[in-house]
Amino acid sequence: MHPVKKALLISLFVSAISLTLKIVAFFITGSTAALSDSLESVVHFVAMVFVVYGYYLSIKPADDDHHYGHERIELLSVGVEGGIIMVAGITIVYHGIQSVLFGVEIQNMDLGIALLVGAALINLLLGSYVLRVGRREKNNIAISNGKHTLTDVWTSAGVVAALLIIHFTGWLFIDVIISLAIAAYIMFEGYKLLRFAITGIMDTRNPDIDEAIRSVLANKLPDGIHDWHHLRHRTSGNTTWIELHLVFDDEIYLKNAHDKATVLERSIIDALDTDAIITMHLEPYHTHDEAHQILDGANRKTDLDSFA
């Protein structure tokens, strides 16, 4: 079984156990902070179901309807997870305000604390494992899921701290303060996931990949290639799609030009941490501008440079 698939399936199963512990902790204590923690875990479990589905879809090969494969579902999966986290944060704020207006009553704190500590330890081990697998396999779905699972650790720790303070001081208002702090924290984490998803969907330039490509083009151009331009690239999942134009000697044979372009293609792929599919447009050196005149006005009367 693929490591990412195994990690996500384990995460789905273990998340159900952690969620059960937190729900029980809320019902036996009545704590608003415990409610916020259990709500965050409900959100996490629902998102986890979508994450697993997204992973299975992302590994499907290209087909007649999806020529570029299905890896971009990773961005949608991460975005949905971030959006659900934001909704959970808003729900926690709502219940926190209700507690301020109508008061808080907490009971069975010892058992509640024990259950939450158990859930936190489970999530700490799970989140660290999934995050490690995601980074090793360079899989955004696993990375975002691992980070989300680790946020559960902090929320549970905050709730346990609140219950301990209330146990020794009787300050019930701490319950509401901690729940609002948890809401702010998980909403910030949700915002970061949403920002990552939107950045990917908009094909924002990846600076590390851009630097790696430009370094090869600046230092490893084969003899016979005079220049390059119109470089574009975007990354979906574990695949980077690259397009660029290469300028060759005018009288070079097609086979020779193709061989040199292939050598350059290999150098670029070796410089990246992702798979790469590279499309190179071969152009003559001295007659380059003349050869491109036929394209003038073809792009809705807009210069080609506006698109590349």
- pLDDT tens profile 84-114: 778 878 877 877 777 666 555 666 677 777 8
- Region of poorest pLDDT, from 65-69, 127-131, 199-203, 300-304: 300-304
Tell whether the model's pLDDT for residue 271 goes beyond 70.
yes
Query: Whose CA is closest to 12, among 46, 54, 35, 37?
Result: 46
- SS3 breakdown of the chain: % helix, strand, coil, rounded to 5? 70, 10, 20
All residues at 6 or more sequence positions from 126 whose CB lies less than 8 Å from its CB, including other chains = 10, 11, 14, 15, 18, 149
All residues at 6 or more sequence positions from 124 whose CB lies less than 8 Å from its CB, including other chains = 150, 153
The dihedral region occupied by 224, where left means phi > 0, alpha psi between -120 and 50, and beta the remainder, is: left
| Domain chopping of the chain, boundaries | 3-201, 207-306
pLDDT band at 258 (very low <50, low <70, confident <90, very high): very high
In whole angstroms, what is the distance from residue 63 CA to residue 158 CA?
47
Q: Which fold has domain 3-201?
A: Alpha-lytic protease prodomain-like (1.20.1510)
Q: What are phi and psi of 197, to 5 degrees?
A: -65, -45
Question: Which comes out higher in pLDDT, residue 191 or 306?
Answer: 191
Q: Which fold has domain 207-306?
A: Alpha-Beta Plaits (3.30.70)
Tell whether the model's pLDDT for residue 211 goes beyond 90.
yes
All residues at 6 or more sequence positions from 64 whose CB lies less than 8 Å from its CB, including other chains = none
Three-state secondary-structure class, residue 280: strand
pTM of the model: 0.70
Question: Which comes out higher in pLDDT, residue 98 or 232?
Answer: 232
State CA 303 to chain mean position distance.
35
